[in-house]
């Protein structure tokens, strides 16, 4: 193949890449070869593609091709990775339909990563059974791996995570002695906090062996083993009756084909009188997650639109009491994680290879961008059974301030006294 | 027909009535004849059926039969009407399926009351073109005919309605000079308040001639005619570009078959950068409204589940920012209306006949019960287009207290400064 011919192919491939990406303000450079940016646009970012194989994959599937190329170091981005990702999301919105290859990859992943009982165990293992030390490098001290709630822009990640847990407990109106089921409990921070601060007893479920082991050790060291039971099992096996149900960051792993399983679990657990809270990554309308994220980071994950998520609640006649969208809080949470992740790179590099770390950097930076620009949402949905008599009367029960104590409920006390 | 034979039929009919109602704690008495209550149950209410025609209608369709009979004075309830209605709603939940006649009536109303352009005009006329004096007897001074927001159980109806309007404006983050579209503006209170307190310009749509005339007179007397335009037209004809869209108590009249019309209106009005608020009566899961309510009070009305209502927003990629369920506030609002309605009965009786007034009493009392026991919900949904940069960062922007001034936005100012 002559140099001239190769050059022509390269330019054609570059044009395709920009077209599939919705003509972002980007200059794409093939190392030692051609470069291109959309005509009439002042490029704000530069993407360096180091070889033709990476270019070909990028052209065939811009999402997965970029992710794989970036992780392998065959693609580099000049400048801020978060801003680059934001620009890509914005431009992609103008693309009417994704390419054939991209759609095939997406479908293939959907099929192979189905969240059946066996599939879920495998999917969870791939992400959450990484060694706890890896997460300890960049999460807060209690290892909360979900969106925090920042009372102010200057709040620390540690504070945001404590406030988040407190707000959830107050939204649920937990009272000492009540029984709570938690589906997808991570390293156990919320379950332990509910037990310690609100005096409830908790049965917390999780498929990750690594996380459950860690959570049990923490319960023991806090003297809470009698009050909090950590169970290594599927959410579909939750049995017993509970006053409240809580799930933070698990619905994303359930998969819409299995929402009716979760709906049935809720009905069995809560009957008509319980209440609950679902906290999950969602979307403004139905769409699959990035294929690369599903391939490398979260196998089988799906972020539902709010109406899709409501199919978990409406069959059981659970009424939505309150929905809060925390997407800006998640962007801030992820910024904190990414900052710590970068700072700990040298230590992390002793446990993980470069490709793994570059993939995680892209996942964290891309997620900041996705929540900033509304590509992803974070919904916190409070709901109550039709016979539940412990509902939110006013929003005062979930105060914005962290200073309020667990026992005091401004407003609602007066209401409950007057209305009962 | 012998007396004995008639008696046997009566007892059979009474059994049917109790069975269809789900065996509530009720004694049904036929005047001068038989009486029955479910075996082993201590009846808390007594229903007096004055003649056999009323009994037959009650048996064929418990909802419509009861409503018609009560309005005509052929059925009377001993004791508190609200508590009676609550007991009926609770018992009805145990009934697996409604009778053939009831289902036929329901379908027939659905068909004849379709909310097409012509149908909507007719439906709205029947309810909202009643003389304004009638509503003035029992609504607040600004004639808000939707759920208020009670800061405390002792708050007055007037205060609750002002707080409600203020909270809506603050949720939307209205800023002086912005353009707002309102769909279904009633007698104009919210449009005038937005203009007066927040300095926005409003185009407010309503199909009720009586209400629009009243609203225009109020705008003139307040010197706001240049800032607020009241337009007697269908929501489907809203044109122009707006910063915000608001609709309080109109979605109930749109009908699920026409949600895509409203979705298109939203897309056209707001593009990607606007935001809006929908406030509507809903349900915890899809179901039609009582046939009697549709026949006598709100022709063509439908209270959607939250997931049904989201089909108005998701096609336009509007993200839900916040959902508040105000059902207990609506129960309280309706209690206030009913109290005033009963007190003004003598004056009302000079304008309306007894049957009309008894029908409205039943509608108001039944609605208190429906919101109290969760048969109905009141959702307030705040949403934003994908390019909207004026989103809620925290809940502080919609404070619970009325004392906060329009200009001050605790919390969010700091956020916006820090994040922009």
**Which residues contact residue A202 at a Cβ distance below 8 angstroms, ignoring those fewer than 6 apart?**
A179, A180, A181, A182, A191, A194, A195, A227, A228, A229
Nearest CA in chain B to A154: B418
Mean pLDDT of A53-57: 94
Angstrom distance (rounded) from CA A386 to CA B284 = 8
DSSP secondary structure, B200-252, as one string: -EEEEEES-HHHHHHHHHHHHHTT-TTTEEEEES-GGG--S--SEEEEES-HH
- pLDDT at position B403 is 32
- pLDDT at position A163 is 95
Smallest CA-to-CA distance from B248 within B308, B201, B322, B181 is with: B181
- pLDDT at position A417 is 41
- φ, ψ at A39 (rounded to 5°): -60, 140
How close, in Å, is residue A406 to chain B by CA atoms?
A: 19
Pick the residue with more confidence: A376 or B122?
Answer: A376
Report, in angstroms and rounded to the nearest whole number, the Rg of chain B calculated over CA atoms: 23
A chain contacts of residue B286, beta-carbon cutoff 8 Å: 314
Taking the CA atoms of residue A101, residue A102, residue A104 and residue A108 in that order, the dihedral angle to the nearest 10 degrees is: 130
Contact A171, A180 (CB under 8 A): no
Angstrom distance (rounded) from CA A139 to CA A337 = 6
**Which residues contact residue B122 at a Cβ distance below 8 angstroms, ignoring those fewer than 6 apart?**
B299
| pLDDT for A323 beyond 80 | yes
Mean pLDDT of A258-283: 96
What are the C-alpha distances in Å from A170 to residues A190, A327, A333, A359, A407? 13, 20, 21, 37, 9
- Is the CATH code 3.30.230.10 the one for domain A117-387? no
- Interface check for B419 against chain A (CB to CB < 8 A): the answer is yes
Cβ-count burial of A294 within 10 angstroms (0-12 exposed, 13-18 middle, 19+ buried)?
A: buried
Smallest CA-to-CA distance from B126 within B308, B300, B312, B279 is with: B300
Residues 138-167 of B with CB under 8 A from A: 151-154
pLDDT tens sequence across A41-52: 899 999 999 999
- pLDDT at position B255 is 92
B chain contacts of residue A418, beta-carbon cutoff 8 Å: 153-154
Smallest CA-to-CA distance from A204 within A221, A227, A176 is with: A227
Residues 75-104 of B with CB under 8 A from A: 93
Interchain contact, B418 vs A154, CB within 8 Å: yes
Structure tokens at A238: 């939750």
Cβ-count burial of B13 within 10 angstroms (0-12 exposed, 13-18 middle, 19+ buried)?
A: buried
Other Cβ atoms closer than 10 A to A176: 12
**Which residues contact residue B83 at a Cβ distance below 8 angstroms, ignoring those fewer than 6 apart?**
B44, B45, B369
- pLDDT at position B414 is 41
- Interface check for B323 against chain A (CB to CB < 8 A): the answer is yes
- DSSP class of residue A39 equals T
| pLDDT for A336 beyond 90 | yes
Smallest CA-to-CA distance from A364 within A280, A312, A293 is with: A293
Size of interface A-B (CB pairs under 8 A): 113
Q: What CATH number was assigned to the domain covering residues B117-402+414-419?
A: 3.40.50.150
- Residue count of chain B: 420
Reduced DSSP (H G I as helix, E B as strand, rest coil) percent helix, strand, coil of chain B, to 5 = 50, 15, 35
Structure tokens at B350: 């000079």
| pLDDT for A22 beyond 60 | yes
pLDDT tens sequence across B267-326: 999 999 999 999 999 999 999 998 899 888 988 899 999 999 999 999 999 999 999 999
Angstrom distance (rounded) from CA A306 to CA B379 = 14
* A322: nearest CB among B93, B315, B323: B323
**Which residues contact residue A51 at a Cβ distance below 8 angstroms, ignoring those fewer than 6 apart?**
A31, A74
pLDDT tens sequence across A184-239: 999 999 999 999 999 999 999 999 999 999 999 999 999 999 999 999 999 999 99
**Which residues contact residue A130 at a Cβ distance below 8 angstroms, ignoring those fewer than 6 apart?**
A210
| pLDDT for A96 beyond 90 | no
- Interface check for B286 against chain A (CB to CB < 8 A): the answer is yes
- Interface check for B1 against chain A (CB to CB < 8 A): the answer is no
Bridge partners for A204 per DSSP = A182, A230
* B414: nearest CB among A153, A320, A328: A153
* A284: nearest CB among B306, B317, B418: B317
Contact A304, A280 (CB under 8 A): yes
Angstrom distance (rounded) from CA B107 to CA B126 = 20
- pLDDT at position A410 is 35
Contact B215, B191 (CB under 8 A): yes
pLDDT tens sequence across A6-16: 688 999 999 99
Domain parsing of chain B, residue ranges: 3-103, 117-402+414-419
Angstrom distance (rounded) from CA B109 to CA B255 = 13
**Which residues contact residue B389 at a Cβ distance below 8 angstroms, ignoring those fewer than 6 apart?**
B273
Pick the residue with more confidence: A299 or B262?
Answer: B262
Listed range (A121-130, A157-166, B329-338) with the worst mean pLDDT: A121-130
Angstrom distance (rounded) from CA A402 to CA B213 = 49
Other Cβ atoms closer than 10 A to A240: 9
Smallest CA-to-CA distance from B376 within B313, B249, B284 is with: B284
* SS3 category, B184: coil
Pick the residue with more confidence: A146 or B6?
Answer: A146
- Residue count of chain A: 420
- Residue B33 CA to chain centroid, in angstroms? 39
What are the C-alpha distances in Å from B349 to residues A187, B55, B334, B355? 67, 27, 20, 10
| pLDDT for A126 beyond 90 | no
Contact B102, B64 (CB under 8 A): yes
Angstrom distance (rounded) from CA A136 to CA A344 = 10
Side-chain half-sphere exposure of B235, counting CA atoms within 13 A: 30
Taking the CA atoms of residue A230, residue A234, residue A237 and residue A243 in that order, the dihedral angle to the nearest 10 degrees is: 50
Is the sign of the CA dihedral B141, B142, B144, B149 positive or negative?
negative
Nearest CA in chain B to A391: B328
Q: Could you say which residues of chain B have pLDDT below 70?
A: 1-6, 101, 129, 391-420
- Interface check for B322 against chain A (CB to CB < 8 A): the answer is yes
Contact B337, B364 (CB under 8 A): yes
How close, in Å, is residue B386 to chain A by CA atoms?
A: 6
- pLDDT at position A415 is 41
Q: Which CATH architecture has domain B3-103?
A: 2-Layer Sandwich (3.30)
What are the C-alpha distances in Å from A347 to residues A133, A135, A136, A344? 10, 12, 11, 6
What are the C-alpha distances in Å from A248 to residues A176, A182, A189, B336? 21, 8, 11, 40
- Is the CATH code 3.30.1050 the one for domain A3-107? yes
pTM for this predicted structure: 0.91
Contact B248, B171 (CB under 8 A): no
Interchain contact, B377 vs A317, CB within 8 Å: no
Contact A5, A33 (CB under 8 A): no
Pick the residue with more confidence: B284 or A412?
Answer: B284
Helix (H) or strand (E) holding A49, with range, is strand A45-49
- pLDDT at position A403 is 32
| pLDDT for A401 beyond 80 | no
Mean model confidence pLDDT for chain A: 89
- pLDDT at position A112 is 79
* SS3 category, B283: strand
Q: Residue A131's pLDDT band (boundaries 50, 70, 90)?
A: confident
Q: What ipTM was estimated for this complex?
A: 0.90
């Amino acid at each position: 193949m002559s140099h001239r011919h190769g050059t022509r192919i390269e330019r054609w491939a570059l044009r395709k890449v920009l077209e599939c990406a919705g003509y972002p303000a980007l200059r794409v450079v093939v190392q030692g070869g051609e470069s291109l940016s959309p005509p009439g646009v002042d490029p704000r970012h530069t993407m360096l593609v180091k070889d033709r194989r990476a270019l070909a994959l990028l052209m065939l599937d811009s999402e997965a091709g970029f992710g794989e190329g970036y992780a392998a170091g065959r693609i580099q981005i000049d400048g801020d990775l978060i801003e680059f990702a934001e620009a890509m999301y914005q431009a992609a919105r103008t693309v009417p339909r994704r390419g054939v290859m991209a759609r095939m990859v997406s479908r293939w992943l959907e099929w192979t990563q189905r969240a059946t009982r066996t599939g879920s165990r495998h999917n969870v293992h791939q992400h959450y059974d990484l060694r706890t030390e890896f997460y300890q490098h960049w999460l807060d001290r209690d290892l909360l791996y979900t969106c925090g709630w920042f009372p102010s822009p200057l709040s620390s990640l540690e504070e945001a995570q404590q406030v988040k847990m407190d707000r959830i407990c107050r939204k649920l109106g937990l009272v000492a002695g009540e029984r709570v089921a938690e589906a997808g409990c991570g390293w156990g921070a919320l379950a332990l906090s509910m037990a310690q601060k609100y005096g409830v007893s908790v049965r917390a479920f999780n498929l990750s062996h690594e996380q459950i082991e860690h959570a049990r050790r923490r319960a023991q060291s806090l003297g809470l083993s009698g009050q909090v039971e950590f169970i290594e099992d599927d959410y579909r096996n939750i049995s017993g009756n509970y006053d409240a149900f809580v799930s933070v960051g698990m619905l994303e792993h359930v998969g819409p084909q299995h929402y009716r399983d979760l709906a049935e679990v809720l009905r069995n657990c809560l009957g008509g009188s319980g209440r609950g809270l679902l906290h999950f990554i969602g979307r403004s309308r139905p769409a699959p997650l990035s294929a690369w994220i599903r391939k490398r980071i979260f196998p089988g994950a799906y972020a539902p639109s709010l109406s899709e998520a409501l199919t978990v609640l409406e069959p059981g006649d659970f009424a939505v009491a309150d929905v809060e969208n925390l997407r800006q809080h998640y962007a801030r949470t992820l910024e904190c994680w990414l900052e710590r992740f970068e700072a700990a790179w040298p230590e992390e590099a002793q446990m993980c290879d470069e490709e793994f770390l570059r993939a995680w950097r892209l996942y964290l930076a891309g997620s900041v961008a996705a929540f900033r620009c509304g590509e992803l949402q974070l919904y916190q949905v409070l709901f109550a059974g039709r016979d539940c008599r412990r509902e939110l009367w006013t929003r005062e029960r979930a105060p914005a301030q962290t200073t309020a104590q667990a026992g005091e409920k401004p407003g609602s006390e007066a209401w409950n006294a007057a209305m009962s």
